[in-house]
Amino acid sequence: MVFLMKIGVIAIQGAVSEHIDALRRALEKRGVDAEVVAIKHKGIVPECGGIVIPGGESTTLCRLLFREGIAEEIKDAAARGVPILGTCAGLIVLAKEGDEQVEKTSQELLGIMDTRVNRNAFGRQKDSFESELEIEILDSSFTGVFIRAPGIVSCGPGVRVLSRLDNLIIAAEQGNVLALAFHPELSEDLRIHQYFLGKVFNC
Ligand code: GLN
């Protein structure tokens, strides 16, 4: 039997099916084969060669990840070098520190990225918007879809800033971990998912 790499999308809450779709299309485009699986419970993350944490509501997402024992599995995977992509709420979940709002609700974060985030950095002014972004890992601009989007306020020296908007970091990478404040799964452009697959397959 041929061993097929698994790529898991955390499917507890949020924009799950869009990421699964985008990953499947990106795999096809890259000409690589992998099984894209929805992660709803403990025990699947350790089998995955790549993990996506989608957007949604970070408080709920974090609470359930810790309650179900998936949080520890993601932390272990990150420490083993498994590529992880966090988008929107996923960017918050990956952070080491949150803003006052996160502290007030004693929301526990995964602490995988050396970042401090503002949960609703773009949320209050304009709930949803699109912006043409220059992202360091892409050779031309990318249309970012922002929905009650967070932002990275500050980060440690090990974090590579990939893009900024309004003085906030909206794309960053720390080794195997990539965090975006916007939703690449909601645009037709597959370049970010393809970049992520490049990390998964070392190509
Ligand atoms: N700002 C939201 C939060 O706090 C995230 C929004 C999103 O993922 N679209 O969780």
Check which CATH number belongs to the domain holding 140 and give it: 3.40.50.880
Is 56's C-beta closer than 6 angstroms to any atom of ligand 1?
yes
pLDDT of residue 104: 78
Please give the model's pTM, rounded to 2 decimal places.
0.96
Whether the predicted pLDDT of 195 surpasses 80: yes
The question of whether 193 is a catalytic residue gets the answer: no
Q: Of 82-91, 94-103, 131-140, give the lowest mean pLDDT range.
A: 94-103
Q: What is the pLDDT of residues 17-63, one digit of tens each?
A: 999 999 999 999 999 999 999 999 999 999 999 999 999 999 999 99
Measured distance CA(2)–CA(67) in Å, rounded: 34
**157 exposed, middle or buried (CB, 10 Å; 0-12, 13-18, 19+)?**
exposed
pLDDT of residue 125: 58
Give yes or no for a contact between 11 and 42, defined as CB atoms under 8 angstroms apart.
no
pLDDT of residue 103: 78
The question of whether 88 is a catalytic residue gets the answer: yes
* Cα torsion through 49, 76, 175, 94, rounded to 10: 100
pLDDT of residue 124: 67
Catalytic residue among 18, 73, 173, 185: 185
Between the CA of 35 and the centroid of ligand 1 the distance, in Å, is: 27
pLDDT of residue 20: 98
Question: What range does the domain containing 111 cover?
Answer: 5-200
The question of whether 57 is a catalytic residue gets the answer: no
Between the CA of 140 and the centroid of ligand 1 the distance, in Å, is: 26
Catalytic residue among 19, 62, 73, 88: 88
Count structural domains, the chain. Answer: 1
pLDDT of residue 178: 98
Give yes or no for a contact between 162 and 142, defined as CB atoms under 8 angstroms apart.
no
